Amino acid sequence: MFDIGRIKFEPLSRNDLSILEKWENCFQVTLFSRGEPLVFKNSDDIEKDFEEYMDNEDKQQFILKKKEDNKRIGIATYKDRSWKVRNAKIGTYIGEPDEWNQGIGREIAAGLCEILFFHKNYDRLSAKSATFNKRAQKVLEDVGFKKTGTERKSGYVFGKRIDWKIFDLLREEYMEDRQDILERVLGERKEEYVRNSCKIRV
């Protein structure tokens, strides 16, 4: 388990599949998480996805929980795309719309950066967002990601083609601004996080 701010990251397990089925069939969640508002996944589909995930050594999925009440609120994922550098593509969504617009997305994104840059020594992270998802783009920028390009007309929503915005972040960029990012994202929770996550001094 890993925690930061108000959030705990725990490995996705079979016990989480029922709530995953709920989120994967929520119009708002799938619209903003992947630009596909009508996914229609039943329990067999969710089970199949989970089995494929368990056989995939390059992908890690976390169930996200609020520390205060253990409520499951979303998913965070990274997929290792390493070749000559340690390179991962990240993705996340909050499956409970009543938890949106409360700054939790920034804590989740910062948590992925801490896991992958600070603890696992990755060189580069990348992410993309549907052009209309300004909230997700702001989250990425708040933890240091830079917009590097556009996949033009690579999605289809509401009867028209849409663009995807491409972002990335290098380890040296994140580490240079790490203290400021943690201060901005965590506020008064920063000291608690640093104290609890870095107990061993080397």
Residue pLDDT, tens place only, 132-185: 999 999 999 999 999 999 999 998 898 999 999 999 999 999 999 999 999 999
In a 13 Å sphere around the CA of 52, the CA atoms on its Cβ side amount to 6
Cα 122 versus chain centre, distance: 16
> Locate tokens 């972040």: which residue?
169
Residue among 106, 6, 111 at smallest CA distance from 66: 6
Name 63's bridge partners: 10, 75
Residues linked to residue 28 through DSSP beta bridges, in sequence order = none
**Residues in a beta bridge with 125:** 88, 169
- Residue 35: φ, ψ to 5°: 65, 25
**Domain limits, the chain:** 2-197
Burial label for 71, CB within 10 Å (0-12, 13-18, 19+), is exposed
Q: What is the DSSP string of 75-110?
A: EEEEEE--SSS-EEEEEEEES-GGGTTSSHHHHHHH
Task: Report the range of poorest mean pLDDT among 21-25, 166-170, 197-201.
Answer: 197-201
Specify the pTM.
0.90
Q: What is the pLDDT of residue 202?
A: 47
Strands 87-94 and 124-130: parallel
Angle between helices 134-142 and 104-113 (to 10 degrees): 50
60-98: pLDDT as tens digits: 999 999 999 999 999 999 999 877 789 999 999 999 999
Q: What is the pLDDT of residues 28-60, one digit of tens each?
A: 999 998 888 888 899 999 999 999 999 988 999
Please give the C-alpha separations between residue 198 and each of 123, 150, 172, in angstroms, as whole numbers.
21, 37, 19
Collapsing DSSP states into helix, strand and coil, what is residue 59?
Answer: strand
Q: So what CATH class is 2-197?
A: alpha beta
Torsion region of 169: left, alpha or beta (phi above 0 gives left; psi -120 to 50 gives alpha): beta
- Is residue 201's pLDDT more than 60? no
Q: Residue 200's pLDDT is what?
A: 54
